Structure 1
Amino acid sequence: MSRLGPVITLTAGAVLAVGLGVASITATPAADTPAVTGNNAAGNAGNTTGNTAGTNAPVAESTPEPSATPTFEESVPAAPRRADYAGRVKGNGGLIAISVRDGKAIGYFCDGRTEVWFKGDATGDELVLKGSGGAKVEAELGDGRATGRVSIGGRSWTFVAPVAKKPSGLYRASAIVRGARIRAGWIVLRDPQGGFTQVGTAFAGDEQVPVPRLDGDEPTGPVTVGGTTVYPEDVDGFIEEMR
């Protein structure tokens, strides 16, 4: 009995210690260690520390980049592909005509004594047409008319030229006779009260000659310039030569 007493005492102490250890593990669960079950226990045993750190590391929230502020470019109104204008030049007594075709424009000013032809691009609703001797037409297109200024020989005048409907508009005639060029230009403008106002000039070579009057209802009918019969054309018949 004296020999078995210490053995029993030690055995009982060992059992008690094991029991207390089990109780301690049960009462204090691992806060950061994920549960490992089944066949993955061995494979995951060595990775417990790494997985624990990955599980609890703070996740960086991605901050969306601010969207670029959209830029709005002011759109430039396009010029009409095809348009004709004709009107009076204020304070001058002359007429002006402007015709636009597919990105190009020509113009003609005439007061019966002086004539100037103009040409330029027509890509927007504002035109700048240039003529000989520094002459220039600046016009804005819109609301069914061309409004602007014509500058010739150091002087300038304003004008308003509504859309021209046939037979109103721009006409020209030309011919070569015995080596001399015959040419004439006209602007025809229908009057609101009826009838037509027209103005033009004619030349035989470098000499200015009387200009015949066109038939308002048939402005492309033949006329005589400097003793030569010529056939006026509307703008579509000669604009390609001018551009």
Structure 2
Amino acid sequence: MSRLGPVITLAAGAVLALGLGVASTIATPAAEETAANTAAEAPPVEESSAAPSPSPSQTAAKKIAKADYGGRVEGNGALIAISIRNGKAIGYFCDGRTEAWFKGSESDGELQLKGVANAGSKVTAELGGGRAEGWVSVGGRKWDFTAPTVVKPSGLYRATAIVRGARLRAGWIMIKNPNGGYYQVGAAFAGEEQLDIPQLDSAQPTAPVTVDGTTVNPEDVDGFIEEMQ
């Protein structure tokens, strides 16, 4: 009886080991199958389709560095001149009797100016194709205009001085005539009194001229655009 004890014990151990091995073999494929099914059922990870936020340089409005325009106002006979420097803009309307100065800005080819002396006066224009096209409102009236780009001596000029205690202001617009020479229009005032205004020398438009007995020095737009802002 004592000799059979070890044999029985070894046999029982062998059976137990065999059972554990079979169980392990069965469990491993089942676990792998469960993991595969879980991976198949998991929802796919979606990639973000949102575009990256634009940088400030991409969204900043474009501004014209430098441009000058000049042309006739339709149905009026007046001239209008517009100058832009780094997005800052000024304009001048004149028919020899009535005048109006404007200031404002340009951005992305859109021009918006308001009257300097009368905020009710306005200039609105679109810029492109080598011209400014829009409308000007002065004294409660409104006219369309088309003003091509111009190069010096065409453009806008201004002079200021003190005459008999009053501030003299004079403005000129010079436009090249297709038939030769230049067409000019301008106006001068000492306070509210209108004065006769001389023509500028197209060969040297900033040369001194005499207005009502006072010598003044016309400036081209680069000399006063910052002051008007």
**Offset of residue 70 of structure 1:** 2.8
What is the rounded CA distance, in whole Å, between the counterparts of 1:108 and 1:119 in structure 2?
9
What is the rounded CA distance, in whole Å, between the counterparts of 1:130 and 1:16 in structure 2?
109
Please say if residues 83 and 90 of structure 2, whose CA atoms lie closer than 8 Å, have aligned partners that are also in contact: yes
What is the rounded CA distance, in whole Å, between the counterparts of 2:13 and 2:59 in structure 1?
87
1:106-121 superposed matches below 5 A: 106-121=90-105
Please say if residues 84 and 99 of structure 1, whose CA atoms lie closer than 8 Å, have aligned partners that are also in contact: yes
Please say if residues 91 and 102 of structure 2, whose CA atoms lie closer than 8 Å, have aligned partners that are also in contact: yes
What is the rounded CA distance, in whole Å, between the counterparts of 1:234 and 1:171 in structure 2?
5
Q: What residue is the counterpart of 1:69 in the other structure?
A: 50
SS in 1 for 2:15: helix
The aligned amino acid for 2:160 is S
SS in 1 for 2:222: helix
What is the rounded CA distance, in whole Å, between the counterparts of 1:181 and 1:27 in structure 2?
112
SS in 2 for 1:31: helix
Q: List alignment gaps of at least 5 residues for structure 1.
A: 1-6, 35-51
Q: Which has the larger radius of gyration?
A: 1
Q: What residue is the counterpart of 1:37 in the other structure?
A: none
SS in 1 for 2:24: coil
Q: What residue is the counterpart of 2:131 in the other structure?
A: 145
Per-residue displacement from partner, 1:143-182 (whole Å, max 9, x unpaired)? 2211111011222111111111000000011111331222
Moved beyond 4 Å, runs of 4+: 13-20, 52-57, 71-77
1:86 aligns with 2:70: yes
Please say if residues 181 and 204 of structure 1, whose CA atoms lie closer than 8 Å, have aligned partners that are also in contact: yes
Which of residues 14, 30, 48 in structure 1 aligns to 2:24?
30
**Offset of residue 195 of structure 1:** 0.8
> What is the aligned length?
220
Per-residue displacement from partner, 1:75-123 (whole Å, max 9, x unpaired)? 6762211211111111111111111112311100001111000001223
Q: List alignment gaps of at least 5 residues for structure 2.
A: none
What is the rounded CA distance, in whole Å, between the counterparts of 1:150 and 1:205 in structure 2?
24
Q: What residue is the counterpart of 2:150 in the other structure?
A: 164
What is the rounded CA distance, in whole Å, between the counterparts of 1:180 and 1:20 in structure 2?
125
What is the rounded CA distance, in whole Å, between the counterparts of 2:220 and 2:88 in structure 1?
16
The aligned amino acid for 1:191 is N
State the TM-score, normalizing by the size of structure 2: 0.81
1:125-144 superposed matches below 5 A: 125-131=109-115, 132-133=117-118, 134-144=120-130
Per-residue displacement from partner, 1:20-60 (whole Å, max 9, x unpaired)? 837964993523567xxxxxxxxxxxxxxxxx979955457
The aligned amino acid for 1:102 is N
Please say if residues 174 and 184 of structure 1, whose CA atoms lie closer than 8 Å, have aligned partners that are also in contact: yes
Please say if residues 204 and 226 of structure 1, whose CA atoms lie closer than 8 Å, have aligned partners that are also in contact: no
1:97 aligns with 2:60: no
Sequence identity, in percent?
56
SS in 2 for 1:122: strand
Which of residues 196, 203, 206 in structure 1 aligns to 2:189?
203
The aligned amino acid for 1:90 is E
SS in 1 for 2:90: strand
